[in-house]
Amino acid sequence: MTRAAFAALLSHWWRNPVQLFTLLAGLALATGLWSGVQAINAEARASYDAAASTLDEGRYDRLVARDGEAFAQDVFVTLRRAGWLVSPMLSGDLDGVRLIGIEALTAPAGMGPVTLGGDVNLAGFLTGGDQVFANAATAARLDGVEVLISDDLADDTAIADIGTAQRLLDRAGLIDSLLMLPDQPRDLPPLAQIAPDLTLQPAQGGTDIAGLTDSFHLNLTAFGLLSFAVGIFIVHGAIGLAFEQRRGMVRTLRALGLPLNRLIGLMLAELLVFALVAGVIGVALGYVIAALLLPDVAATLRGLYGADVSGTLQLRPSWWASGLGIAFAGTLLAGASALWGIARMPLLAAAQPRALAMAAGRRASFQMGAALVLLAVAFVLAFNADGLVTGFALLGTLLIGAALALPPVLNAVLAFASGRARGVTAQWFWADTRQQLPGLSLALMALMLAIAANIGVSTMVSSFRLTFTGFLDQRLASELYISTDSAAQTAALVAFAEGAGAAVLPIQSADVQIAGQPAEVFGTRDHATYRDNWRFLQSTPDAWYATFAGQAVVINEQLARRGALGLGDMVAIGSLTLPVAGIYGDYGNPIGQVVLALDAFAQEFPGIEARQFGLRVAGDPADFVTGLTEATGIGAGQTIDQAGIKAVSLAIFERTFTVTTALNILTLAVAGFAILMSLLTLAAMRVPQLAPAWAMGMTRGALGRLELLRAVMLAVLTAALALPLGLALAWVLLAVVNVAAFGWQLPMYLFPLDYARLGGFALLAAVLAAGWPAWRLARTPPGDLLKVFANER
């Protein structure tokens, strides 16, 4: 019994290969989009982790030579014997690989993670055996050394003992820098005495960069979520149609005595087979998508961390698992309602057509009800969401609610248009479109989600880019940043700068507690740089004048949010209590900040001396540095050219943008495919519906053109409805999810041209999808149309 019934169910597909193709392709595309985004995300994270953990020397303060050159290793022993806990490092290029020499016994714990398998003889690592650590890909490029494989290392990076590195790089006795361990012993002799030629480079803190990267990942994660939602709708549509077409067969099978649960079981098994096949295709597809996009992602992260991100893809088992998992989960989720429908379907449905119609009506009103409930929840969450979980719940309810609301809204719009239509063709066109709507609604929901997701994510990325560019201009307004390591050097710098007509802006800070939050207080000199470049989120008039007069402070957004501080609120810093005159955006910084006038700072924190300075230089910064070095001995190693920092940051966003655009086009293509699939499936049912119009005098060509027009019109309506949804989505990402994740809100900018371009893409997808079915319709042989009347089935 089972075999006969299963063969009957499957026989449907052999007779209708296009339907089989659309079902499998829909499933595979949804899986592919999901696993592609996941793959990129996972690979980016893996690369990022490897890159970050291979060398986080940036976490530590470092001693470097004043002139930025390598120096003798004897200094290392001298400092150690004086009690300073420092560890030497040396890096250089070896066969195109960045070779990093470390001293394993003195390096800070947590540096240089290496996992070793089995019995590795490490004796050679420390005793000049020319052993280096590298991952398998990098190892293949290293000749003449023994490579210990460790996949935790980033690409193009090898780690060796400092002695081995000196030998391989031909720099005997030299080191680049000394890492300063965090917990130094008490009562150490001053560095200036024992290592006068070295200067302290403070830890980079890493938070600026980490903030950027995390946001990039959040961006991709949101995209993954949205692509999943789009995919589920497509799969749902494909499966729903596949079941709908076999209603007659299901009824006959049951009339012939196939038990219901057996039938459901068979259809479930069939679904799972399809999920497996489509899932495998989909994961492979996702791999291709990711492989095509990954070079851009890798370039993005390379911009952040130097040449250490893999530009190639590894087919990780976890992707297979997650890709197949999503194919199965999506299929089951989407198939559940179809199977439920089969289970509930009356055996003699034909006898009660009205009951069926009533059921459809009930489903429509249930759907609208569910949509309203979800949107209401989203509305409430929009005002109350304060964490990542509620933020993502808001995203989910908003998207699903809006998607469910789409068919009723479209129906209302069409009913309105139908009522207004003049002329018999127009009336028939609108009425017929309404009749088509149920069959197309899932595809249209997918299209709307795809457009909305693209609008949302594009808006988020672009807003982020604009904000950050402005922020970089504000924060890196000075042409040069210089650190000094003694009061004498500071005096020399100030003297030289005055002579050269440059303004010296000291950067000095103290760690304090404000409103129960850890915060940094900055003492700031009165200068036009601040008034001209810093933008406030909120401020009183003349905020800077009040601040520089010592009558007020300005604080960053993080402190304002966490300390619940607003304009005019009093802030206690030591013995001072001053009102807040302004709140500024401070992106990428984890903790609170207060800016205080320099004099007030000096009074409150007399022990703190500025050692870092921003310099406003009129001429070429390079000339200034040359002059400074000659005049004061402050070397290039102590100066930072801010143009370089800015260029790197901006390049990152260009790359992010490239990836986002590519993903935009992909999601739209998938949504377009969903439309194509629905239209193809509906095509067979269309013939009887169109035959009367044809019989009454409309040409087949005109019918085909109207079919195309109908698809385009529905796509335009859907896109129009997707725009507000996309903007709402962007708002959630910027104002809720970002705040929950990073503690700051990004201002939202609008990009009408981008939206128009996206709308164009969506239209193009719809035209491409509707084109073929319309063409086929226009070429339907008259005989087929006549059959409708000859043999009314």
Partner 1 sequence: MTLLIVDTLTKTYATADGPFPVLRGVSLTLEAGESLALTGESGSGKSTLLHLIGGLDRADAGRIMLDGQDIASLDDAGRAALRRGTVGVVFQQFNLIPSLKIADNIAFQARLAGRHDAAWCATLAERMGLTDHLRKYPEQLSGGQQQRVAIARTLAPRPKLVLADEPTGNLDETTAATVMDMMLELVAETGAGLLMVTHSQVLAARLQRRLHLRAGQVA
Partner 2 sequence: MNAKALILCLLPVTALAQGFAGLGTEVEGFSTPAPDPVFDFPADHGAHPDYRIEWWYLTANLEDADGTPYGLQWTLFRSALAPYEAEGWDSPQLWMGHAAVTTETAHFVAERLARGGIGQAGVVADPFSAWIDDWALEGDWQTLHMRATGADFGYDMTLTATGPLVFHGEGGYSVKSAAGQASYYYSQPFFEIAGTLQLPTGDVQVTGSAWLDREWSSQPLADNQTGWDWFSLSFDDGNKLMGFRLQQTDGMNYTSATWITADGETTPYPDGALQVEPLMSNAAGVPVHWRLTLPARGVDVTVEALNDDAWMTTSVPYWEGPVTFHGTHQGRGYLEMTGYD
Residues interacting with partner 2, by CB under 8 A?
A: 53, 73, 76-77, 80-83, 85, 102-116, 122-123, 125-128, 133, 152, 159, 161-164, 166, 183-187
Of 340 and 775, CB closest to partner 1? 340
Instruction: Find the binder of partner 1 among 256, 424, 564, 756 (CB under 8 A).
Output: 256
Among 72, 116, 255, 380, binds partner 1 (CB under 8 A): 255
Instruction: Please enumerate in sequence order all residues whose Cβ is within 8 A of that of 259, keeping only pairs 6 or more positions apart, or say none.
Output: none
CA distance linking residue 738 with residue 215, whole number of Å: 8
Q: Give whichever of 5 and 514 is closer to partner 1, judged by the CB atom.
A: 5
Can you give 455-469 as a three-state secondary structure string? Answer: HHHHHHHHHHHHHHH
* Minimal distance, residue 171 CB to partner 2, in Å: 12
The residue with tokens 């079941």 is: 243
**Sign of the torsion angle spanned by Cα atoms 447, 452, 457, 459:** positive
Q: Does 16 bind partner 1 (CB under 8 A)?
A: yes
Smallest gap, in angstroms, from Cβ of residue 346 to partner 1? Answer: 9
CA atoms within 13 A on the CB side of 77: 5
With a CB cutoff of 8 Å and minimum separation 6, the contacts of 411 are 434, 437
Q: Per rule CB under 8 A, is residue 575 in the interface with partner 1?
A: no
Decide whether 81 or 793 has the Cβ nearer to partner 2: 81
Task: Determine which residue in the list 347, 380, 488, 647 makes contact with partner 1, applying CB under 8 A.
Answer: 347
Write the interaction track for partner 1 spanning residues 351-380; mark x where CB under 8 A is met and - where it is not: xx-x--------------------------
Q: Say how far apart CA 104 and CA 624 lie, in whole Å.
A: 40
Residue from 96, 173, 196, 259 binding partner 1 (CB under 8 A): 259
| Residue closer to partner 2, measured from CB, 133 or 228 | 133
**Rounded to 5 degrees, what angle do the CA atoms 282, 285, 286 make?**
85
Q: By C-alpha distance, which of 335, 346, 249 is closest to 5?
A: 249
Amino acid at 618: A
Stretch touching partner 1 by CB under 8 A, among 140-148, 215-223, 248-256, 297-305: 248-256
Pairwise CA distance, residues 290 & 421, whole Å: 48
Across 196-252, where does the E strand assignment appear? 198-201
Nearest distance, CB of residue 297 and partner 2, angstroms: 22
Q: 45, 59, 254, 562: which one contacts partner 1 (CB under 8 A)?
A: 254
Instruction: Say if CB 200 and CB 299 are below 8 A apart.
Output: no
* Partner from partner 1, partner 2, none binding residue 354, C-beta < 5-8 Å depending on class: partner 1
- Asked if 616 and 478 count as a contact pair (C-beta separation under 8 A), the reply is yes
For partner 2, the closer of residues 53 and 337 by Cβ is 53
Using CB under 8 A as the criterion, what x/- string covers residues 138-157 for binding partner 1? Answer: --------------------
Nearer Cβ to partner 1, position 259 or 724?
Answer: 259
- Nearer to partner 1 by Cβ, of 193 and 261: the residue is 261
| Binding residues among 760-779 for partner 1 as defined by CB under 8 A | none
> How many positions of this chain bind partner 1 (CB under 8 A)?
32
Q: Does 8 bind partner 1 (CB under 8 A)?
A: yes
CB 136 → partner 2: shortest distance, Å?
A: 17
Comparing CB distances to partner 1, the nearer of 11 and 425 is 11
Residue 348 binds which entry of partner 2, partner 1, none, with Cβ cut-offs from 5 to 8 Å by kind? partner 1
Position among 117, 144, 185, 257 found at the interface with partner 1 (CB under 8 A):
257
Show the tokens assigned to 206: 């890493």
92 binds, among partner 2, partner 1, none (CB under 5 to 8 A by kind): none
Of the candidates 510, 529, 733, 525, the residue with the CA atom closest to the CA atom of residue 609: 510
Contact region for partner 1 (CB under 8 A) — 80-88, 301-309, 342-350, 535-543?
Answer: 342-350
Pinpoint the alpha helices (H) of 306-352: 317-344
CA distance 238 to 23: 5
The reply on whether position 791 binds partner 1 by CB under 8 A is yes
Compute how many other C-beta atoms are within 10 angstroms of the C-beta atom of residue 344. 8
The 3-state secondary structure of 647-712, one letter per residue: HHHHHHHHHHHHHHHHHHHHHHHHHHHHHHHHHHHHHHHHHHHHHHHHHCCCCHHHHHHHHHHHHH
- Taking CB under 8 A as the rule, does residue 11 contact partner 1? yes
Near partner 1 by CB under 8 A: residue from 5, 230, 289, 327: 5
CB closer to partner 1 out of 249 and 622? 249
- The one of partner 2, partner 1, none whose footprint includes residue 137, by CB under 5 to 8 A per kind, is none
- Closest approach, Cβ 374 to partner 2, in A, equals 39
Question: Rule CB under 8 A: is residue 344 a binding residue for partner 1?
Answer: no
Give the integer Cα–Cα distance in Å for 401 and 411: 16
Secondary structure of residue 240 in the 3-state scheme: helix
If the CB atoms of residues 49 and 784 are measured against partner 1, the closer one turns out to be 784
Is residue 349 near partner 1 by the rule CB under 8 A?
no
Give 760-763 contacts, CB < 8 A, sequence gap 24+: 761/664, 761/665, 761/668, 762/447, 762/450, 762/451, 762/668, 762/671, 762/672, 762/715, 762/718, 762/719, 762/722, 763/712, 763/715, 763/716, 763/719
Closest approach of partner 1 to the CB of residue 47, in Å: 50
Maximum alpha-carbon separation in the chain: 107
| 354/422 with CB nearer partner 1 | 354
Stretch that binds partner 1, among 349-357, 493-501, 618-626, 769-777 (CB under 8 A): 349-357
Pick the piece of the chain touching partner 1 (CB under 8 A) from 103-111, 253-261, 304-312, 574-582. 253-261
Structure tokens at 166: 């000196």
Give the footprint of partner 1 on residues 743-762 (CB under 8 A).
none
From candidates 120, 194, 200, 260, binder to partner 1 by CB under 8 A: 260
* CB-nearer residue toward partner 2: 68 or 129: 129
What does 259 interact with, of partner 1, partner 2, none (CB < 5 to 8 A by kind)?
partner 1
Single-letter amino acid code for the residue at 640: I
- Pick the binder of partner 1 from 105, 348, 696, 753 (CB under 8 A): 348
The window from 198-206, 256-264, 568-576, 767-775 that contacts partner 1 (CB under 8 A) reads: 256-264
Q: Name residue 524's beta-bridge partners.
A: 597
For residue 408, give Cα distances in angstroms to 235, 368, 444: 21, 7, 12
Whole-number Å distance between alpha carbons of 548 and 552: 8
Q: What are the distances in angstroms from CA 601 to CA 274, 509, 547, 565, 611?
A: 70, 9, 11, 21, 15
Q: Considering beta carbons, is residue 269 or 347 the nearer one to partner 1?
A: 347
The one among 59, 251, 561, 776 contacting partner 1 by CB under 8 A: 251
Residue numbers at the binding site for partner 1 (CB under 8 A): 1, 3-5, 7-8, 11-16, 248-249, 251-261, 347-348, 350-352, 354, 791
